Amino acid sequence: MGMRRWIGASALAFSLALGGCADDEPAQTFPPADYSYLSQLHLNVATINIQDEAVPSPDALSAKAPTPPDQALKQMASQRLVASGQTGQADFIIKQAYIAATGENAISGAMDVQLNVADAGNLHTGYIHARISRKLDTGSRSATSRASLYELTNQMMQDMNVELEFQIRKKLMSWMTDAIGNPLVDGGVKQQSLGAPGTVASPAVVPSVTTPPTTTSVPQAVPVSTQPSVPDAIFPTGSGDDGTSVVPAPKQKSPPMGTLQLPSSSQISGSNG
């Protein structure tokens, strides 16, 4: 009787050992989800709330993943969405996040998030949806292993990071700010060059314009000749070509007849001597 009990206990222990080897996986460490290396998305709100409304996967594969899909989405929202405003709020809602088996060596998953924004009086609001889905064929590797679930989660999160930023920049651009709260859209706060803290900005220097002195030309007086005018031979009547009057010179008259006498013979001979 004792021998039979020993054989039965040994067989049971061996079968349990085989079953355990079939289900156990090699010990492996998976880095936690981290999205701090991606650019932050600043929103003109005072607070951002993260809500998880996703229904758990019925086959519990999501919970088996090293980082469950909904936990990865929460980490992404907390690291990438930043409240940079003074009033208003944003709600990041996880609508869907799961992983399911789709075959012997394949798994698939999907994520769906919604982002709502509103000002303090709820007068201006906006929202976006970001949805992605992925399928992973693992080949000879177990589709439900932690390594496979980790790989699919990372692939889905890469897609979601791209899709979320695209939708925000496309539909909520008017709600985006820079790191200090200045709007990013045209017509927002204009930046200007300022001096160092505690200094007074120097006034703009207006370039000096040298005006040349104004020179007034004074017509010079034309000298008036005091000499008597010379008679014009062409205009003996006293009218010149420029219209001025010319005083005619007195005419030379011939001596009266009988005044001239011929020289005497003595005068002629004396001149010849």
Report the alpha-carbon angle 110-130-166, nearest 5: 130
DSSP-based three-state secondary structure for 88: coil
- pLDDT recorded at residue 251: 54
Over the range 142-165, which residues count as b (16 or more CB within 10 Å of their CB) and which as e?
A: ebbbeebbbbbbbebbeebbebbe
Among the listed residues 7, 272, 22, 26, the one whose alpha carbon sits nearest the alpha carbon of residue 146: 26
Return the amino acid letter for 141.
R
Nearest-angstrom CA–CA distance, 97 and 113:
9
- pLDDT recorded at residue 187: 41
pTM summary value: 0.60
- pLDDT recorded at residue 25: 57
- pLDDT recorded at residue 135: 96
Q: Could you tell me the two tokens for 41? A: 């998305």
**What are the tens digits of pLDDT across the range 37-71?**
999 999 999 999 999 999 887 778 999 999 999 99
- pLDDT recorded at residue 229: 46
Q: Determine what percent of the chain is predicted with pLDDT higher than 90.
A: 51
- Evaluate if residue 224 carries a pLDDT over 80: no
- pLDDT recorded at residue 252: 54
- Evaluate if residue 123 carries a pLDDT over 60: yes
Q: Looking at residues 102-128, what average pLDDT do you find? A: 94
Give 216's pLDDT tier (boundaries 50, 70, 90): very low
Q: Average pLDDT, whole number, for the chain?
A: 75
- pLDDT recorded at residue 232: 45
For 37, 42, 271, the CA distances from 82, given in Å and listed in that order, are 14, 5, 142
Q: Looking at residues 208-230, what average pLDDT do you find? A: 47
Q: Which of 53-67, 143-157, 187-201, 240-254 has the lowest mean pLDDT?
A: 187-201
- Evaluate if residue 121 carries a pLDDT over 70: yes
- pLDDT recorded at residue 257: 58
Among the listed residues 105, 92, 160, 104, the one whose alpha carbon sits nearest the alpha carbon of residue 132: 160
Give 77's pLDDT tier (boundaries 50, 70, 90): very high
Q: Looking at residues 4-24, what average pLDDT do you find? A: 43
